[in-house]
Amino acid sequence: MTYSFMSPPNAGRFVLSNATLPAVAVEGYSATAIEGLVHADLIIEDGLVAGIVAPGTAPQELAKSDLRDGMVWPCFADVHTHLDKGHIWPRNNNPDGTFMGALTSVGADRATHWNAEDVRKRMEFSLRSAYAHGTNLIRTHLDSPAPQHLISFDVFGEVRDAWKDKIALQAVALFPMDDMVNETYFAELVATVKRAGALIGGVPKMGPDLTWQLDTLFRAASDNGLDVDLHVDETDDPAAETLRAIAEAVLRNGFTGKVTAGHCCSLARQDDELAKRTVELVAKAGISIISLPMCNMYLQDRYPGRTPRWRGVTLFKELAAAGVQTAVASDNTRDPFYAYGDLDAVEVFREAVRILQLDHPLDTAARVVTTSPADVAGRPDTGRIAVGRPADLVLFSARRWSEFLSRPQSDRVVLRRGKVIDRSLPDYRELDSVLGA
């Protein structure tokens, strides 16, 4: 019996032979890498990776699927998403595609529609897509102005439990930092976040309140053992320097939790010296940076009647070179902040390679949707292929980068605990009941 990558053996113990692996996402195996890719046989046993050996050296008696050099990746981590906003586009779109248009539209949609059933239905839809695409770890921000925080965190808790064997879920309370002056609300929010085992986040803005807001936030996070994940400088305005302010606040407060900053677009608009100083501070403060290339390219530098001249992304390479933990993620899907997207990490990777020029060579690029985001999320047990870990793997026909990056890889096969999953995507019609037909 011969098996192909499309139908690996449904057995307790089998071999995926002649696989091509992104070396950066493999632990405990070394071989000569060509542009970051190595060849190996993977032995799968009882749902776990039981061995990573040189091609042709796995036990001959085992059932074998010859991948003919097709790639095998670990399941993906997508650590900056907005499951609560996902798919509202047909109901409230973005009339001009701008950041302000997005804020206004989402605010109106939230105020009118975001009851528990609506949020749950769209979240589940997004998770089914992400699961089918091969993702097993997601961090989502949840819009948390009162009283939305209570609704969304309740739903999130139920969804996280229901999905725990398929996708590990983390949540961040994305709240209006100006509302911190309302002490009752802020205390209740912190308690909600703590109860949910979630993170606290927000959108710090330049201004006279920034220092107080950041100090109060980090003190509250410290007192309650919370990590912090902020939306930062999502603008083309070089005067936006909240990233620097955040790094200073982390150091000033001696904050020891994990801090993540998403976007950081304006850093790429500042003069080299100023940007360099901020990058150094970010490294010193141990802040992780998530770039959202698809959403940034969509929203940034968009003005009516004018062709964009900037890709919208942060100084990804400079940050990484300074030792900052960096990753990329989906951000929004089919909502006013990004009209498209399906929580497909392969699309995110492909676009990140193009927008951020992670290629030539691609040596370690595969880390940006695997090991790096898993590490940012504090889950170094995921996002890599290693002996003893679950065989949560994505199998591709593509053998090398030019093949991988030129097609959407829609024929990929996803194994969870060594078993092929049903990769059917949910039908958009299923959302008609909440979005209107």
Closer residue to Zn ion (CB): 118 or 331: 331
Of 83-91, 98-106, 235-243, 325-333, which segment contacts Zn ion by CB under 5 A? 325-333
- Of the pair 55, 101, the CB lying nearest Zn ion is at 101
CB of 170: closest distance to Zn ion in angstroms?
14
CB of 303 to Zn ion, least distance (A): 22
> Sign (positive/negative) of CA torsion 229, 137, 268, 325?
positive
Ranges assigned E (strand) in 70-134: 72-74, 76-81
Q: For the CB of residue 153, give the shortest distance to Zn ion in the complex, in Å.
A: 17
- CA-only gyration radius of the chain, Å: 22
Nearer to Zn ion, 109 or 331 (CB): 331
Nearest residue to Zn ion by CB is 331
- The residue type at 394: V
With respect to Zn ion, which residue has the nearer C-beta, 22 or 201?
201
Q: How far apart are the first and last CA of the chain?
A: 48
User: Closest distance between Zn ion and the C-beta of residue 80, in Å?
Assistant: 6
Of 172, 144, 285, 154, residue with least CA distance to 228? 172
Please, which residues have CB within 8 angstroms of residue 399's CB and are 6 or more apart in sequence? 20, 68, 69, 70, 71
Q: Are the CB atoms for 419 and 413 separated by under 8 Å?
A: no
Q: For 268-392, where are the E strands, in sequence order?
A: 288-291, 326-328
CB of 314 to Zn ion, least distance (A): 13
CB of 262 to Zn ion, least distance (A): 6
Residue closer to Zn ion, measured from CB, 331 or 392: 331
The one-letter amino acid at 160:
R
Q: How far is Cα 148 from Cα 114, in angstroms, rounded to an integer?
A: 8
Structure tokens at 153: 């965190």
- DSSP 8-state assignment for residue 336: T
Q: Hey, which residues between 328 and 347 contact Zn ion (CB under 5 A)?
A: 331
> In angstroms, what CA-CA distances link 263 with 57, 137, 160, 300, 423?
45, 20, 25, 11, 31
In our burial notation (b when 16+ CB lie closer than 10 A, e otherwise), range 388-397 reads ebbbbbbbbb
DSSP string, 177-201: GGGGG-HHHHHHHHHHHHHTT-EEE
CA 344 to chain centre: 10
Residue closer to Zn ion, measured from CB, 16 or 200: 200
C-alpha–C-alpha distance, residues 225 and 195, integer Å: 11
- Contact map string, positions 213 to 252, toward Zn ion, x by CB under 5 A: ----------------------------------------
Distance in Å, CB of 79 to Zn ion, minimum: 11
Active site residues: 234
Using CB under 5 A as the binding rule, the residues of this chain from 358 to 417 that contact Zn ion are: none
Report the alpha-carbon distance of residue 159 to residue 164 in Å, rounded: 8
- For residue 431 the two structure tokens come to 């959302």
Please say which residue, 78 or 331, places its beta carbon nearer to Zn ion. Answer: 331
Nearest to 421 by CA among 26, 133, 11, 21: 133
Given the rule CB under 5 A, which of 14-22, 118-126, 210-218, 324-332 is the region that contacts Zn ion? 324-332
CB of 204 to Zn ion, least distance (A): 14
Nearer to Zn ion, 266 or 364 (CB): 266
Distance from CA of residue 98 to its chain's centroid? 22
Kindly determine how many residues on this chain lie close enough to bind Zn ion according to the rule CB under 5 A.
Answer: 1
Which among 70-78, 266-274, 323-331, 385-393 is the span making contact with Zn ion, rule CB under 5 A?
323-331
Segment lying near Zn ion (by CB under 5 A), choices 12-20, 29-37, 327-335, 384-392? 327-335
Interface ranges with Zn ion (CB under 5 A): 331
